[in-house]
Chain A
Amino acid sequence: MFFFAVPLCLCGERGFELTLESSKTSVRHVPGYFQRLVSVWMRHYVVYTNEIWTNAFPTLFEPLIFIMAVGWGLAAAVGNIGGFDYLTFITPAQIMMSAVYTSAFETSYGTYFRLEVDHHYDSMVATPVGPTEVFWGELLFTGTKGVFYSAIMLGVLSFFHVLHSPLALLVPLVGFFTAIAFGSLGFFANRLVKNISQFNYFVSGVISPLILFSGTLFPIEKLPAVLQAMAYVLPLYHFVHLSRMLTTGVIAPDLPVSLVYVLIVPFILGFFAVRCMKPKLIK
């Protein structure tokens, strides 16, 4: 339940309220902000779990294939990084990538479809649910998917002898924050695109570079200083970095920085992303 606490205080909570306007039968209760947020989350949950394997398979398939190919093929050639074999090094990155893919695609293509093609959000905001709840509900569900995918990846990878600490069990939680952050980026992309094919710019121009240059496949120390600094500030590095501490059990000295980044930045991004999506719905 703590998932919901942070967005609530960021976007201003509407209290639990009663309307006193008379109605046919009795005083009618207007659902409060939290209840409305949960109802949006529930919609996504019902629709998504309805065809869960069709929905989940592609997102999980890619990182798994990748880890097999790179892990078995490339790992032998690369040798050890930071005292661990290459497969161990890229494991946390692969788990985070599953959260990145699911969230970035959900809130770019998926949101675009619900907004412009299906007009599904229109039906939601014709009820007491408002645009803030619609988009935060979406982000929170994306976060939930981040947990789900990270947990499955973690489960599968546990057979590969790449998890070296029980702290690894916390990685799905990091997946939640990763998904909120990248879900927010998807919203920003939605604000900018004029048609659905323009999301290609978002995927090749934003998501792919972030995935490649964020300490996922090689340590960022190998990058030129400028890129290193950029990677350190931009989303993904800290999510991967923190996950790596958890899967290896080796705690880096900048743990507090990563922890604060992971816990706070997704909600700052989410706050602005929801704000910038509102005019797309309420015109």
Chain B
Amino acid sequence: MPSETLIQSKNLIKKYGDFPAVNGVDFEVKTGECFGFLGPNGAGKSTLMKMIYCFSPRTSGNLTVFGMDPDKKAPEIKNRLGVAAQSDNLDEEITVAQNLEIYGRYFGLAPSPLREKIAELLKFMALETRADSKVDDLSGGMKRRLVIARALLNDPDLIILDEPTTGLDPQVRHLIWAKLRDLKKQGVTLLLTTHYMEEAQQLCDRLLVIDKGKVLVQGKPADLVKKHLKPFVMELPSSSKLPKGALMRNVRVESHEDRFFLYSASPSALEKIAEASKKDFQIRPTGLEDLFLKLTGRDLHESE
């Protein structure tokens, strides 16, 4: 598959009044990849998403989606997008099938191919027995699957998922991840925001970490972890007495609330420190979550 550029953003800025929600963002999304936006609450992820699906006009900078300008070609762009927003925003009082029929009409789909498509998607999302149920009667996981099925009605070239599995139980999360990987195999490009690092690790080929409207890093998840962190981390209670001197050489220590986080290239070095401190310890390979916390800080990001 040729890796055509689907989304291109250069020095993208979005201001609400004086507040810059997105402040000079550069990135590219290529055909067939899964690209992730990671960031704490209020970092600008959702704003960035909304600008891509023509929901939020940019203040300045360049943005093209499928080579088109969202300010000028909104219907054309949106015709090729599938959007599963953060809130479910389904029509609760009508049936699953009716929801999809209504949505299909927004894309101008003709009744009979639309009915076939609906049957196919309900099967794909394991909802085929619920076609005539009222949405109100569905569980949270079913509603989420329906929202994703709805985003697939128009055979989109790009699917935008804003926190696709927030608030769902592990079974449903894994089902949704499997379905999203399935779509990727079919050549669909995915763009998702999440603050579940496991989700990003499971799905994303490339990602960017954004905070306060600015991109902190971007690249492949494994490369980013390798570049910014030592390969192992140990957590200790902060009541531990850390040894001094040679043992602590090449170990980076972070302290937060009631924990110490010790980073090192060698697990055996960490073990020695743990033995010296005589406390329960846990050594594990560093991952995206550690990177994320290192970049965005361990303090709470409460929206003001």
> Which residues does A use to contact B, with CB under 8 Å?
14, 19, 21, 23-25, 28-32, 35-36, 38-40, 42-43, 46-47, 50-51, 118-120, 122-130, 282-283
Contacts and interface: CB of A to CB of B under 8 A. Distances in A.
A130 B53 CA distance: 11
19 contacts: A19-B76, A23-B80, A28-B79, A31-B108, A32-B108, A39-B102, A39-B108, A46-B98, A46-B101, A46-B102, A47-B94, A50-B94, A122-B55, A126-B55, A127-B103, A128-B74, A129-B106, A130-B75, A282-B55
Interface in B82-133: 83, 85, 87, 89-91, 93-94, 98, 101-103, 105-108
Give me the 7 closest cross-chain CB pairs, A-B, nearest first.
A31-B108, A127-B106, A126-B83, A39-B105, A128-B75, A123-B89, A119-B89
Given A21-B67, A51-B93, A30 B76 contact: yes
Contact of B106 (A21, A39, A119): A39
A127 B107 contact: yes
B85 A122 contact: yes
B68 interface: yes
A19 B73 CA distance: 10
A130 B74 CA distance: 8
Contact of B102 (A24, A43, A128): A43
A21 B57 contact: no
Contacts of A36: 75, 106, 108
Nearest to A121: B89
A225 B129 CA distance: 67
Main secondary structure of the interface of A (DSSP, over half): loop
B155 A126 contact: no
Contact of B81 (A119, A122, A126): A126
B56 interface: yes
Given A14-B75, A21-B67, A128 B106 contact: yes
Nearest to B92: A118
Contacts of B67: 21
A109 B81 CA distance: 31
Contacts of A38: 105
Contacts of B102: 39, 42-43, 46-47
A130 B212 CA distance: 29
Contacts of A42: 102, 105
A25 B157 CA distance: 11
Nearest to B21: A283
Main secondary structure of the interface of B (DSSP, over half): loop
B56 A282 contact: yes
Contacts, number: 106
A128 B107 contact: yes
A47 B94 CA distance: 6
B63 to A, nearest CB: 15
Interface of B: 16, 50, 53-57, 66-68, 74-76, 78-81, 83, 85, 87, 89-91, 93-94, 98, 101-103, 105-108, 150, 154-155, 157, 187
A23 B106 CA distance: 18
Nearest to B76: A19
Given A30-B108, A127-B107, A282 B57 contact: yes
Contacts of B91: 43, 47, 120
A127 B102 CA distance: 11
Given A125-B78, A128-B76, 13 more contacts: A21-B68, A21-B80, A23-B157, A29-B108, A31-B107, A36-B106, A42-B105, A46-B94, A47-B91, A127-B78, A127-B154, A129-B106, A283-B55
A246 B159 CA distance: 55
A14 B75 CA distance: 10
A126 to B, nearest CB: 4
A221 B144 CA distance: 60
B105 to A, nearest CB: 4
Contacts of A130: 74-75
Contacts of B150: 123
Contacts of B90: 123
B53 A126 contact: yes
Contacts of B68: 21
B108 A128 contact: yes
A124 B103 CA distance: 8
